[in-house]
Amino acid sequence: MPAKRLPTLEDVAARAGVSRATASRVVNADPRVGRVARESVQAAIAQLGYRPNRNARSLVRQEADSIAVVVPEAEDRVFTDPFFASVLAAITQTLADSPVQVLLAMGQPGKSHKIERYLRGGYTDGAIVVSHHQDDHIWQVLQQTKLPAVYVGRPFVGDVGIPYVDVDNRAGGALAARHLVSSGRRRIGTITGPQDMAAGQDRLAGWHQVLVEAGMSADLIENADFSADSGALAMRRMLDRAPDVDAVFVASDLMAVSALHELQRLGRHVPDDVAVVGFDDTPAAQLTRPALTTVLNPVTGMATTAVQMLLRLLEDEDVDSPVILGTRLIPRTSA
């Protein structure tokens, strides 16, 4: 059976009822194209599965040239959160001996228009998407363009037909809660991650389940956004609500370090007055005084696995999905 012919720009133009030049301008995000023509071309691209640059390169070689690491977060978050630094380092190190170039695409959550135009433009062979919020629509672009892609972390919207690798966040939240319950703490709160992200919801769910099973109140919840400042603010709110709090599970180390410092600033001793457990096991967890008890997040393993999955997709091979990595509690002196 002859190989299926890949769609061309001429095919897109014909399907959309526009000239080739107009189709080319839409692909290259030219703002001068009218709305009706632009939407017609974008619909034709989605229907045909057209990927311009990838198709052109495939005429001369079969190897991938570049992949994009897509992070729908503000730049200040990407460059200050150790989670993203670890992911990027692991991806680049995994590809260090390969000819594949790693590109970084960032954008505010829910405002990823630049990223979407970039992915539609066919400037990369594949994508690894890190951090997914409820309002992100990048997954739709990946579906429409059929660009090979892997998510690091479960997409918030559930099964979108795109492979992903994740840590068992629910089990991690349960580990933290179980450790605090077993140590005799009676008023246990949590500072969550963003609730428009699967990781934030899953870590909260694991904590909640253990407290309910133990017959304890599970109402001491303060939402935050994984940033250091939000961790400190949430800790202050929790103390205002429940001065008798004696333990807190914080859904990231970055927030937990800030929460611990806030407790100390307000005269609470850790762990004597309030025990603190974080999530991630970043290097900062060992630098606090007392050192931070935390839940291991196998970031390097997730990123490496995502690269391996994407390289297989680029070779038109099937991949198993989802891949869920295990976790464990790292006990230190804060709890």
CATH number of the structural domain spanning residue 33: 1.10.260.40
Q: In what order do the strands lie in the sheet with 126-130?
A: 101-106, 66-71, 126-130, 149-152, 164-167, 323-325
Q: Is residue 16 part of a domain?
A: yes
Judge whether 199 lies within some domain.
yes
- Evaluate whether residue 82 is within a structural domain: no
Full residue range of the structural domain in which residue 20 is found: 1-50
| CATH number, residue 204 | 3.40.50.2300
| Residues 164, 283, 191, 248, Cα dihedral to 10° | 130
Tell me, what's the pLDDT at 58?
Answer: 44
pLDDT, residue 317, reads: 87
Q: Among 29, 50, 71, which residue terminates a domain?
A: 50
**Per the domain annotation, does 224 fall within a domain?**
yes
The reported pLDDT for the residue numbered 52 is 66
Phi, psi dihedrals of residue 278, rounded to the nearest 5°: -105, -165
In a domain, residue 92? The reply is no
Residue 35 lies in a domain: yes
Sheet holding 293-296, edge to edge: 221-223, 188-192, 247-250, 275-280, 293-296, 329-330
Q: How many CB atoms lie within 10 A of CB 182?
A: 10
100 found inside a domain: no
**pTM higher than 0.85:** no
Q: Is residue 322 part of a domain?
A: no
Rounded CA separation 240/234 (Å):
10
Please give the pLDDT value at position 33.
81
Q: Please report the pLDDT score of residue 122 as a whole number.
A: 76
Question: What are the C-alpha distances in Å from 247 to residues 106, 188, 277?
Answer: 36, 5, 8
pLDDT tens, per residue, the chain with 335 residues = 445 567 887 788 889 998 777 887 787 777 778 888 888 988 888 888 887 655 444 444 445 678 999 998 888 888 888 899 999 999 999 998 888 889 998 877 666 778 888 888 778 889 999 988 888 888 888 888 888 999 999 988 777 789 999 999 999 999 999 999 999 999 999 999 999 999 999 999 999 999 999 999 999 999 999 999 999 999 999 999 999 999 999 999 999 999 999 999 999 999 999 999 999 999 999 999 999 999 999 999 999 999 999 999 988 888 998 999 999 999 999 99
Query: What is the three-class DSSP state of 42?
Result: helix
pLDDT confidence of residue 53: 56
Query: Residue 167 has which token pair?
Result: 């840590």
The Cα 278–Cα 294 span in angstroms is 4
- The count of domains in the chain is 2
